C-alpha cells in the first residue's frame, strides 16, 4: 500500500490529534496533546529548520510521524535530529523508512553533518536504526510513578535555614532568574549535542510559554533569595504529569535540593488530581536515578541514542 509523506497542517486540530494518537501508541511515556503538537511547528525558531512530518497510508490514515530539524542552539554547527514514530498496528508497511528518508533529505539540504535519533531499546527498533546506517552511542530510561499509590515521601517538617520553595508562577512578572538557572544547569545536562541557552526571548517563547508547562506545579528552590534548583512540570491538563527538566546550580549541589524540588512538585501534582508521573533519566546519571528511585519511580522503557553521518546536499 502506498505511503505518502507530508508536513503537518498545524491549523487542523484533527491532523494534530492524529499525530498525538500515533505518538501515544508508539511511545506512551511522553506528554502529547494536539495543542502541543501544533505549537511545535508554529513556534519553532527559524534556525531550527523544523518540520513535523506525517505518514499517511493509501486511505489517508495517519500511521506515522517524525520530528526533524537542526540543533540551532548548539555551539557545534551541523547537528541534526530526527525522531520517527510509527503506529504499532501499521508497522512493516514502509512508513518508517519513508519518514526517515524524507527527514534525512531535509537535514542534508540544510547542510547538517550528523543525524541523531532516539530509538526504543528493543530488537526491532534497534535493527531498523542499524539497517539505515545508525550506530548506538548512549541510552536513557523512561520512568513512571503511579501517583495514586502510597509511598510518596512527605516534605521535611523544617527546611534548612535560608531555603524556600516557590512555584514557577511566582516568577510570572519576571521569569529571567529561571532562564538564567535553566541556562546554567543545561550546561551540565548529559548529551551528545550540547546546547547553550543564550536567547532570553526565544526561551520565553519556547520554554516559558510552552502549552505543556504548568507553572503552578513547577517548583523552584531558593537559597537566601537566589534560585538554586528547580524542576519544570509538564502536564496534559488531565491525568499525566512529567518532569521536563530538573537542575541544580553548581554552587548548591550535594544539598539534596533537586530531590526537594521534585518531591514538592510531585506532591502538588497528586493533590491537583494527576494520576501518572513520568520522567527521563540518562542511564549514566546515577545521582538523579537515585533521586527518582527514592521518589518511587520505576523504569518502564529505555531508549538508545543513535547517530549517523550525513552527506550534505551541494
Summarised one tens digit per residue, pLDDT across range 152-191 is 999 998 999 999 999 999 999 999 999 999 999 988 776 6
As beta bridge partners, residue 173 has none
pLDDT at 313: 52
12: helix, coil or strand? coil
Percentage of the chain with pLDDT > 90?
Answer: 90
Q: Locate all alpha helices (DSSP H) within 27-175, ordered by sequence.
A: 34-42, 95-109, 123-131
For the record, the C-alpha cell of 66 comes out as 517524525
Select from 280, 282, 287, 291 the least CA-distant residue to 144.
280
Residue 1 has pLDDT above 70, yes or no: no
Q: How far apart are CA 77 and CA 22, in angstroms?
A: 31
Total domains present in the chain: 2
35 pLDDT higher than 70? yes
Residue 145 lies in a domain: no
For residue 130, what are the domain limits?
4-140+303-309
CA distance 214 to 4: 36
Phi, psi (degrees; rounded to nearest 5) at 39 = -60, -35
pLDDT single digits (tens) 248-290: 999 999 999 999 999 999 999 999 999 999 999 999 889 999 9
- 164 and 220 both lie in a single domain: yes
b/e code 84-116 from CB counts within 10 Å (16+ = b): bbbbeebbebbbbbbbbebbbebbbebebebbb
Claim to verify: residue 111 and residue 177 sit in the same structural domain: no
Does the pLDDT of residue 194 top 80, yes or no?
no
Domain for residue 198, yes or no? yes
The pLDDT score that the predictor gives to residue 297 is 97
Choice among 49-58, 70-79, 115-124, 298-307 with the minimum mean pLDDT: 70-79
Q: Write down the pLDDT at residue 312.
A: 63
- Considering the domain architecture, whether residues 116 and 62 belong to the same structural domain is answered as yes
Crossing angle, helix 286-294 and helix 257-271, to 10 degrees? Answer: 40
Judge whether residue 314 has pLDDT over 50: no
- The Cβ of residue 173 has, within 10 Å, a number of other Cβ atoms equal to 6
Whether 56 and 176 map to the same domain: the answer is no
- pLDDT higher than threshold 50 for residue 82: yes
3-class SS at 3? coil
CA atoms within 13 A on the CB side of 204: 10
Same domain, 24 and 70: yes
C-alpha angle 75-206-209 in degrees, rounded to nearest 5: 150
Q: pLDDT grade, residue 117 (50/70/90)?
A: very high
- The whole-number average pLDDT for the span 82-91 is 96
Q: Is residue 147 part of a domain?
A: no
Find the CATH number of the domain harbouring 103. 3.40.630.30
Same domain, yes or no: 135 and 187: no
131 and 160 together in one domain: no
As a whole number of angstroms, the distance between CA 14 and CA 29 comes to: 22
| pLDDT per residue as tens digits for the range 93-108 | 999 999 999 999 999 9
Same domain, 190 and 285: yes
Please check whether residues 159 and 284 belong to one and the same domain. Answer: yes
| Percent with pLDDT over 70 in the chain | 97
In a domain, 235, yes or no: yes
Give the residue-averaged pLDDT of 130-152. 95
Would you place residue 55 in the very low, low, confident or very high pLDDT band (cuts 50, 70, 90)? very high
Sign of the four-CA dihedral 275, 291, 163, 166: negative
Asked if residue 120 belongs to a domain, the reply is yes
Is the distance from CB of 284 to CB of 138 less than 8 angstroms? yes
Q: What are phi and psi of 22, to 5 degrees?
A: -65, -45
Quick one: average pLDDT of 203-209? 94
Residue 118 to residue 304: CA distance in whole angstroms: 6
Amino acid at each position: 500500500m502506498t505511503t505518502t509523506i507530508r508536513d503537518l497542517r498545524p491549523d487542523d486540530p484533527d491532523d494534530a490529534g492524529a499525530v498525538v494518537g500515533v505518538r501515544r501508541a508508539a511511545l506512551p511515556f511522553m506528554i502529547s496533546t494536539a495543542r502541543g503538537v501544533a505549537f511545535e511547528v508554529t513556534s519553532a525558531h527559524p534556525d531550527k529548520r523544523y518540520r513535523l512530518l506525517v505518514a499517511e497510508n493509501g486511505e489517508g490514515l495517519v500511521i506515522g510521524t517524525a520530528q526533524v530539524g537542526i540543533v540551532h542552539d548548539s555551539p557545534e554547527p551541523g547537528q541534526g535530529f530526527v525522531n520517527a514514530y510509527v503506529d504499532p498496528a501499521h508497522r512493516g508497511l514502509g512508513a518508517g523508512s519513508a519518514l526517515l528518508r524524507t527527514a534525512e533529505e531535509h537535514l542534508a539540504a540544510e547542510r547538517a553533518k550528523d543525524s541523531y535519533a532516539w530509538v526504543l531499546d528493543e530488537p526491532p527498533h534497534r535493527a531498523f536504526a542499524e539497517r539505515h546506517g545508525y550506530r548506538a552511542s548512549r541510552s536513557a530510561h523512561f520512568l513512571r510513578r503511579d501517583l495514586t499509590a502510597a509511598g510518596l515521601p512527605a516534605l521535611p517538617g523544617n527546611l534548612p535555614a535560608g531555603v524556600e520553595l516557590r512555584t514557577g508562577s511566582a516568577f510570572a512578572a519576571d521569569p529571567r532568574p529561571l532562564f538564567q538557572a535553566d541556562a546554567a544547569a543545561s550546561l551540565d545536562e548529559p548529551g551528545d549535542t550540547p546546547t547553550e541557552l543564550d536567547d532570553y526571548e526565544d526561551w520565553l517563547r519556547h520554554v516559558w510559554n510552552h502549552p505543556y508547562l504548568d507553572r503552578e506545579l513547577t517548583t523552584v528552590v531558593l537559597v537566601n533569595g537566589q534560585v538554586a534548583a528547580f524542576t519544570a512540570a509538564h502536564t496534559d491538563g488531565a491525568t499525566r504529569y512529567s518532569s521536563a527538566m530538573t537542575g541544580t546550580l553548581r554552587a548548591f549541589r550535594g544539598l539534596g535540593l533537586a530531590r526537594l524540588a521534585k518531591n514538592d512538585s510531585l506532591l502538588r501534582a497528586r493533590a491537583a488530581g494527576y494520576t501518572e508521573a513520568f520522567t527521563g533519566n540518562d542511564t549514566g546519571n546515577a545521582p538523579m536515578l537515585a533521586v527518582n528511585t527514592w521518589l518511587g519511580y520505576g523504569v518502564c522503557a529505555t531508549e538508545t541514542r543513535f547517530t549517523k553521518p550525513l552527506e550534505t546536499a551541494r
